[in-house]
Amino acid sequence: MSLQNKKIVLGITGSIAAYKAAILVRGLVKKGADVRVVMTPDATQFITPLTIGTLSKNPVISSYVQDHDQGIWNNHVELGMWGDLFLIAPCSANTLGKMVQGICDNVLMATFLSAKCPVMVAPAMDLDMYSHASTQSNLDILRSRGTEVIESESGELASGLEGQGRLSEPEHIIDHLEDYFRTANSLVGQRYLVTAGPTYESLDPVRFIGNHSSGKMGIAIANEVAKRGGKVELVLGPSSIEVKHPNITVHHVNSAVDMYEAATSLYDDCQVGIMAAAVSDYRPKDVSDQKIKKADDSITLELTKNPDIAESLGAKKRSDQKLIGFAMETENLLKNAKKKLTKKNFDLIVLNSLKTEGAGFKHDTNVVTFIGQNKTREFELKQKTEIAKDLVDEIISL
């Protein structure tokens, strides 16, 4: 079993879903995991440490001090170094905010900030709290720092409302952990080149031509490769997303030419290249040194073609390398994507469309089709983090 002898630190926060932690602990122990639990003070109002301690077969930590009279403290640093994985389930909106800000006001947060192992969170809250911009922003920030999010599920909530926000069912969380440990070191020794985000083509010192790409898809791919032990050279166009995983080296660029120079210099030392960036096809032929003043009712810009990064890499690709492309189309989707597959010497191309609600630029979700030399796989709308897993699995199968 993939969880046999795995050391799991389980954090439980103040949520009505804390009752499910008992089922989760029991399931992990039955799978052979060694489970040690740390609870916030509020979590103990929902389920007792005695229950969790009995099921985990280990003492539960819920405060900094173990014995006031003898001066014995609960060593959160040691706990953070002990685990193979730190899972916070359920993770409340309050704890999500503290994790982002680094607020250390309880022993669970002290353990999180001390953790040397990978961290996962399974959020649980009411649907309006879950969908709130601040909660979604916090989840995005945690993902960019390498924290894996086990998505909340939809259904009846404690408030009586229906919607997303339910803690993922314990058996689903256990499946997720088994999948993680199955793939955790599968890419050790591999180096991936990933391009992500937009490019900005300057008109003058203050204006540019660009696009709406956020970089979310490429960053999700980089994080997935890194979580599996691979090293990533991430060539990232202008993006507000923070990338912190130690296996990822970020090369910040602005223009298509900048991205071309970085990608072509890095690809030789990589086994796989994934071209997820939204690169400008053209740039202004002449860039003004000064801000262009408003004068006439119209202005004419002469554009010149940018180098094609993917085609250049495809031309130099060795037999021991793979190259993956992305295509965003608005018409003749499959036909145009297959043309790119051949023209640019891709091993696989990921097709996505702007026509589906919830897909495309800036969304956390997308709808994609994998198009290979001999097969095509269509996927339903799903989180970009899940698409990243599917893509890395597909690349490994190549």
Q: Which of 294, 311, 218, 200 is nearest to 256 (CA)?
A: 200
Q: Are 270 and 264 in contact (CB under 8 A)?
A: no
d(CA 97, CA 284): 43
Give the burial string for 259-276 (b: 16+ CB within 10 Å, else e): bbbbbeebbeebbbbbbb
Residue bearing tokens 């992500």:
196
Residue type, 392: V
SS3 annotation, 150-162: CCCEEEECCCCCE
Written as one string, the DSSP assignment of 349-380 is EEEEESSSTT-STT-SEE-EEEEESS-EEE--
Q: Residue written as tokens 């940018």?
A: 306
Whole-angstrom distance, CA of residue 214 vs CA of residue 235: 13
User: Is 291 labelled a binding residue?
Assistant: yes
Cβ proximity of 241 and 137 under 8 Å: no
Do the annotations mark residue 326 as ligand-binding? Answer: yes
Of 211, 254, 336, 345, which residue is the catalytic one? 211
Contact between residue 166 and residue 157 where contact means Cβ atoms under 8 Å apart: yes
Neighbours of 371 (CB within 10 A): 22
Q: Is 211 a catalytic residue?
A: yes
Taking residue 152's Cβ as centre, other Cβ atoms within 10 Å add up to 23
Annotation-wise, does 389 bind a ligand? Answer: no
- Find out whether 281 is annotated in a ligand binding site: yes
Residues 6 or more apart whose Cβ sits within 8 Å of residue 215: 196, 197, 198, 236, 237, 239, 241, 277
Instruction: Show binding-site residues.
Output: 281, 291, 326, 340, 344
Instruction: Show binding-site residues for CTP.
Output: 281, 291, 326, 340, 344
Q: Which residues are catalytic?
A: 211
